[in-house]
Structure 1
Amino acid sequence: MASLSLCAIVVMSLAICSAMPNPQDAGQQAEKPGQAPATYTNKYDNFDVDKVLNNGRILTSYIKCLMEEGPCTNEGRELIKYLPDALKTNCIKCTKVQKDTSEKVLKFMMSNRSADFERLSAKYDPTGEYKKNLLKLEKERDEQLKKQTQ
């Protein structure tokens, strides 16, 4: 049920799909000067998330970055910078690949690194506001899938 909750935390957790609005990287033009593109950059869409998930040392480094307890890569810093927008908009600017990858990482984090998942949630969604919105969207999606299979 909570597989899509806080999808932006997953996005930022692994620096998979840097949320840096960059029209040149994403191949999209902003509608007006200074306006963000319709989606975040896709330059990390081919990132091998399994290598990170299966390497505790690397995963821990990303988590420490996001918790501001350790150094960050450039991508990690970009993600932290743009995370508020991703959370506020329920990851609406994420590409399909980014959403699918986010769901995969969330499931892994909740099953295998639940304490870290809770720490990230407490930092980036302390009131649970974004989680509620995402759970509502997930419930609607599940209902649509049920209707399609009937």
Structure 2
Amino acid sequence: MNLLPGILVFNCLLISVFGQNSITSRLDKLDINYVLSTGRILDNYLKCIMDKGPCTVEGRELKGAIPEAIIRGCKKCSEPTKKIVKKSANYIIKNRPGVWTKLKKHFDPEEKYLEDFNKFLTS
């Protein structure tokens, strides 16, 4: 099985997302208040980012922004995206702690970035 095409596509995706000066996307226009207040929609986004369900375009972009947010404190995120990441993470931490535990294990299993991410959330 040749993995080269998959690796090339993955690298192109990384370059397109992280090679920019800032990540601006459909996320900038996402009505996060509506998503957080509508359990079914929030659950669909959570399934997407946890690889448990299909993704919308916005879901894929959110999923791609999470490593940037966790590892780099969202330094390349646009201001609207930073607000969305902060608001959604703080909401999940407060209202769905079990989900937060699963998200941490999924994206930062060794908790190498947890302290810095918490600082980003309160900045």
Structure 1 and Structure 2 fold alike (TM over 0.5): yes
Q: Which has the higher contact order (CA 8 A, sep 6+)?
A: 1
Q: Is the 8 A contact 1:45 1:97 kept in 2?
A: yes
Report the CA distance between 1:45 and its aligned residue: 1.2
Consecutive unaligned residues in structure 1, runs of 5 or more? 1-18, 23-34, 142-150
The one of 80, 87, 110 aligned to 2:70: 87
Q: 1:50 to 1:121 in 2, by over 3 A?
A: same
Alpha-carbon separation, structure 1, partners of 2:121 and 2:34:
27
Aligned residue runs from structure 1 range 12-27, under 5 A: 21=16
TM-score by length of 1: 0.61
Alpha-carbon separation, structure 1, partners of 2:93 and 2:121:
16
- The alignment status of 1:60 with 2:43, answered yes or no, reads yes
Match of 2:24 in 1: 41
Aligned-residue CA RMSD in angstroms? 2.7
How high is the sequence identity, in percent, across the aligned residues? 33
Match of 2:6 in 1: none
Q: Is the 8 A contact 2:69 2:85 kept in 1?
A: no
Q: Count matched residues.
A: 110
Q: 1:92 to 1:74 in 2, by over 3 A?
A: same
Alpha-carbon separation, structure 2, partners of 1:138 and 1:86:
10
Aligned residue runs from structure 1 range 1-150, under 5 A: 21=16, 36-81=19-64, 83-135=66-118
Q: 1:102 to 1:80 in 2, by over 3 A?
A: closer
Q: Is the 8 A contact 2:22 2:78 kept in 1?
A: yes
Alpha-carbon separation, structure 1, partners of 2:81 and 2:38:
20
Consecutive unaligned residues in structure 2, runs of 5 or more? 1-13
Greater helix fraction, Structure 1 or Structure 2? 2
Q: Which of 1 and 2 has greater Rg?
A: 1
Q: 1:21 to 1:79 in 2, by over 3 A?
A: farther
